[in-house]
Structure 1
């Protein structure tokens, strides 16, 4: 089925927007703004901390699947975060042979600070927008993010 000109235009606009978002998110200045100088944390560290903050204690094997990495990679990452005092590991109460990780008080504090900086950044970037536009943007971007998560989950299986 051939694309309509409108569809091609919309897809080009989305491609451009995603490229801009990816470029913005990968800039060192953006990372410094969002991390508040927590130079010891990588973007992947923050993704993992964010996942645990959102979902609660998680098995290391589940985190490795979520990040699409092998267990040795997640173990190294957990070791680094544990040595920084941001997470703790222990036996899974449902299966004491399995290991699960959770945020420490410092890990929660780091995530609160990161989320606060991100919220301030988003507020700054959308300050001139009407409130209804910000609400609609949040709804649509969240919907798109769910589609991305679903796509990642489908590809991990």
Structure 2
């Protein structure tokens, strides 16, 4: 492992400790949104309705874990089960109006927090940082064999 990889690991660890998630943005007026629900809703929003099997493949998690996460999201009113729009046998999960609203509120909170952190950064610095993060995530996705769709693209 290179010395630079050690630096990246350490900075990634520090990044994960900052806890933007735990501040006031962690709870909306309709109650808490767990981090797992935020990621689940984000994926469904970009890709469209997904079955447990599709979610399991996308997240690299076993179906029982996804069953627990989707059940919690259903109890919170964030997702609902629908028949497969393509006519398949499996039921799929889609975001409810409340789930979409809460996801937007959470994302707006994070964007505002990032705006504060990067207030003194140039537009070029922000663009380069976003590009490096996208490349880093895309390379992890390539190695794991689980690409993640980006908004404005044609899926995974």
Shift of 1:121: 1.1
1:17 aligned to 2:11? Answer: yes
Whole-angstrom distance in 1 between the partners of 2:129 and 2:16: 17
**58, 65, 81: which is aligned to 2:50?**
58
Equivalent in 119, 124, 133 of residue 141 of structure 1: 133
2:105 and 2:37 mapped to 1: Cα distance? 14
Q: What is the TM-score normalised by the length of structure 1?
A: 0.81
User: C-alpha deviations, 1:38-78, integer Å up to 9, x for none?
Assistant: 75332112111111112111122110222222222212221
- 1:75: which partner in 2? 67
5+ long unaligned stretches in structure 1: none
TM-score (ref. length: structure 2): 0.81
Against the structure 1 CA distance between its residues 78 and 47, is the aligned structure 2 distance closer, same or farther, given a 3 Å change threshold?
same
- Counterpart CA distance in 2 for 1:67 and 1:76 is 14
Q: Name the structure 2 match of 1:152.
A: 144
Task: Tell me the SS of whatever aligns to 1:90.
Answer: strand
| Structure 2 residue aligned with 1:121 | 113
Query: Aligned residue for 2:122?
Result: 130
SS of alignment partner, residue 89 of structure 2: strand
Q: Which runs of 4 or more aligned residues in structure 1 lie more than 3 Å from their structure 2 counterparts after TM superposition? A: 36-40
Aligned counterparts of 1:71 and 1:136: Cα–Cα separation in 2: 37
**Equivalent residue in structure 1 for 2:92, among 95, 100, 121:** 100
Alpha-carbon distance between aligned partners in 1 of 2:103 and 2:32, rounded to the nearest angstrom: 14
- Count of residues paired in the alignment: 145
Unaligned runs of 5+ in 2: 147-156
Larger radius of gyration: 1
Relative contact order higher in (CA < 8 Å, ≥ 6 apart)? 2
Cα RMSD over matched residues?
Answer: 2.1
Distance 1:80 1:114 in 2: 18
Q: Evaluate the alpha carbon distance shift between residue 11 and residue 75 of structure 1 in structure 2; reply closer, same or farther with a 3 A threshold.
A: closer
